[in-house]
């Protein structure tokens, strides 16, 4: 079992979730139940799955939840790119978040590899 609050990947994922919530305020209100809801759901899913996996009984289970978090990471990247393509949010707002998500994904893959070796 890992203390998820001390995991750098969880901390970065929480930072991204906060940023995504801030960005969602910039989106048109008519997207409240569509894109805004989905973006927030993905953003929360990433650190939540990292935390849940950290409390599981084995590294194998933790790796599984890190994989789920990765899926949410790529889903969120796609939704942010869509928001940018629809001109709902400027690229200079979205791109730093996407960069952070790529970093989280890379960290996750490395972490998964290290857990497999133990």
- Residue-wise pLDDT tens digits, 1-14: 679 999 999 999 99
Q: Which fold has domain 4-117?
A: de novo design (two linked rop proteins) (1.20.1440)
Categorize the per-residue pLDDT at 31 as very low, low, confident or very high, splitting at 50, 70 and 90. confident
The per-residue DSSP string of 32-63 comes to IIIIIHHHHHHHHHHHHHHHHHHTSSSHHHHH
Quote the pTM value.
0.94
Average pLDDT, the chain: 95
Task: Answer whether 14's CB lies under 8 Å from 7's CB.
Answer: no
Start-to-end CA span in the chain (Å): 13
- Residue 58: pLDDT over 70: yes
Tokens of 55: 């409390």
Every domain of the chain and the residues it spans: 4-117
Digit-coded pLDDT (tens) for 62-89: 999 999 999 999 999 999 999 999 999 9
Over residues 42-58, mean pLDDT: 96
Q: In whole angstroms, give the CA distance from residue 63 to residue 113.
A: 9
């Amino acid at each position: 079992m890992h203390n998820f609050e001390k995991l750098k990947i969880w901390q970065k994922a929480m930072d991204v979730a906060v940023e995504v919530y801030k960005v969602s305020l910039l989106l048109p209100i008519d997207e409240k139940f569509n894109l805004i809801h989905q973006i927030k759901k993905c953003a929360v899913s990433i650190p939540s799955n990292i935390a849940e996996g950290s409390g599981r009984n084995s590294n194998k289970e933790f790796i599984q939840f890190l994989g789920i978090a990765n899926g949410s990471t790529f889903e969120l990247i796609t939704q942010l790119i869509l928001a940018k393509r629809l001109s709902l949010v400027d690229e200079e707002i979205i791109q730093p978040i996407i960069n952070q998500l790529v970093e989280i994904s890379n960290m996750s893959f490395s972490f998964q590899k290290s857990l497999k070796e133990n």
